[in-house]
């Protein structure tokens, strides 16, 4: 068994996907091109932001001591995929099988779950909004994030307010399957390595998202590790860009960009720790410019699905109505 130096990852453990074509650029905060890419809503890994340097001491022991005795959301999955689903909708959707389970536990219970995973091959993922329930040392570390840099970016691009910082503690092999978020995201890696696959928003037709009213809204139906080309033929045309982020790297995931994020095996430590910075997007311009951007097209399609589900009073009837409207007429 190969033993890896602390903080490295095993390149052979990386699944080869057919849809990878290029690498996401890595740039310094000193490089003007960094800001051109963000302005153009293109992904970029910024290598020297010091955004979360104050958190580089975060390991399981420090977090256990300082995160406080609040409860944390921990997801368990019997395969290694952690597909997001909306709890409330899942309850209403009888036929829906939840792809992962959500637990509300103390950090100590999370550590016990981690130990059990070493034996049972089950996977866990702690996801917790960093809020004022954490211990004072964590608050101190949080206040020492490079807010000056990130606030300047927020202002420069006209983003909305910071909506939340999620603390993520995952296990090697965890996969967050392809989805998009409706927020700008500075994704900061603290410990271990994560492989990020991004698909541009104009590939909506290759990624077959669930219906907007479905519990897995915003998530792709395609499992890119084992695509069902009969159900999703256009996925053959999908092309991803990739970045492997390590401690200190910040990946800019532009709003509406599809992303799949995998925790890489790094033996020491066995966990990956990340913090994301989600910002509400730039308010839509009052004068719409044509042609619509891919992001605006996705937003329009979402509004049409929502409006039709409301107008019909039943989200299950939207497909039939759209087919009647389009087939033989808008083809
Ligand atoms: C999978 C998980 C734990 C989850 C379960 C249930 C509801 C929500 C979420 C959720 C939301 C964000 C992330 C972080 C990241 C992916 C990654 O780092 O794995 C990502 O996608 C982003 O920062 O936008 C991870 C999760
Ligand atoms: Zn996401």
DSSP of 222-258: --TTS--TTT-GGGGG--EEEEEE-TT-EEEE-TT-E
**Residue 77, pLDDT above cutoff 50:** yes
Are the C-beta atoms of residues 129 and 164 closer than 8 Å to each other? yes
Find the ligand nearest to 80 CA.
1
- pLDDT by residue (tens digit) across 271-307? 999 999 999 998 777 778 899 999 999 999 999 999 9
pLDDT at position 266 is: 72
Distance, CA 303 to ligand 1 centroid (Å)?
A: 24
Neighbours of 135 (CB within 10 A): 16
pLDDT at position 272 is: 96
Pocket test for ligand 1, best of 76, 81, 82 (most atoms within 8 A of CB): 82
pLDDT at position 263 is: 96
Does the pTM surpass 0.90? The reply is: yes
Pocket test for ligand 1, best of 110, 129, 176, 243 (most atoms within 8 A of CB): 176
Pocket test for ligand 1, best of 166, 273, 277 (most atoms within 8 A of CB): 166
- pLDDT by residue (tens digit) across 109-147? 999 999 998 888 889 999 999 988 889 999 999 999 999
Distance, CA 259 to ligand 2 centroid (Å)?
A: 6
Q: Report which of 206, 185, 197, 147 is spatially closest to residue 274, judged by C-alpha positions.
A: 185
Distance, CA 176 to ligand 1 centroid (Å)?
A: 6
Q: What is the spatial distance between Cα 87 and Cα 288, in angstroms, rounded to a whole number?
A: 35
For β-strands 26-27 and 44-46, DSSP reports them as parallel
Distance, CA 258 to ligand 2 centroid (Å)?
A: 8
**Residue 1, pLDDT above cutoff 50:** no
pLDDT at position 2 is: 47
Side by side, the strands of the sheet bearing 250-253 are: 26-27, 44-46, 250-253, 183-191, 271-280, 162-171, 123-129, 72-77, 101-105
pLDDT at position 118 is: 83
**Residue 9, pLDDT above cutoff 90:** no
Query: Which residue's CA is the closest to the ligand 1 atom numbered 7?
Result: 84
**Residue 5, pLDDT above cutoff 60:** no
CA 266 distance to own-chain centroid: 20
Q: What is the spatial distance between Cα 157 and Cα 155, in angstroms, rounded to a whole number?
A: 6
Side by side, the strands of the sheet bearing 20-23 are: 20-23, 240-245, 194-199, 258-263, 175-179
**Residue 248, pLDDT above cutoff 70:** yes
pLDDT at position 151 is: 98
Q: 18-22, 141-145, 234-238, 316-320: which range is least confident on average?
A: 18-22
């Amino acid at each position: 068994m190969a033993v890896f130096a602390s903080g490295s990852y095993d390149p052979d453990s990386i699944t080869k996907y057919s849809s990878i074509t290029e690498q996401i650029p890595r740039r310094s905060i000193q490089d003007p091109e960094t800001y051109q890419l963000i302005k153009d809503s293109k992904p970029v890994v910024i290598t020297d932001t010091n955004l979360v340097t104050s958190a580089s001491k975060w390991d399981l022991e420090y977090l256990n001591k300082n995160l406080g005795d609040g409860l944390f959301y921990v997801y368990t999955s019997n395969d290694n995929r952690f597909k997001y689903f909306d709890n409330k909708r899942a309850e209403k959707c009888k036929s829906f099988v939840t792809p992962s389970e959500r637990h509300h536990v103390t950090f100590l219970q999370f550590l016990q779950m981690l130990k059990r995973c070493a034996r049972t091959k089950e996977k866990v993922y702690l996801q917790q909004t960093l809020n004022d329930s954490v211990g004072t040392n964590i608050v101190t570390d949080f206040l020492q994030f490079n807010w000056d840099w990130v606030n300047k970016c927020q202002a420069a691009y006209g983003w909305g307010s910071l909506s939340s910082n999620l603390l993520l503690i995952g296990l090697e092999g965890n996969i967050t399957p392809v989805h998009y978020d409706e927020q700008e995201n500075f994704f900061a890696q603290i410990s271990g390595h994560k492989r990020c696959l991004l698909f541009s928003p104009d590939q909506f037709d290759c990624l077959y998202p669930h219906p907007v009213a479905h519990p897995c809204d915003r998530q792709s139906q395609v499992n890119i590790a084992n695509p069902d080309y009969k159900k999703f033929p256009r996925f053959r045309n999908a092309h991803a860009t990739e970045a492997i982020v390590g401690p200190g790297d910040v990946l800019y995931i532009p709003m509406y960009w599809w992303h799949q994020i995998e925790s890489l095996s790094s033996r020491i430590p066995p966990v990956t720790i990340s913090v994301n910075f989600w910002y509400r997007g730039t308010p839509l311009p009052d004068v719409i410019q044509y042609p619509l951007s891919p992001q605006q097209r996705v937003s329009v399609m979402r509004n049409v699905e929502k409006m039709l589900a409301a107008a019909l009073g039943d989200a299950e009837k939207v497909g039939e109505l759209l087919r009647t409207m389009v087939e033989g007429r808008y083809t």
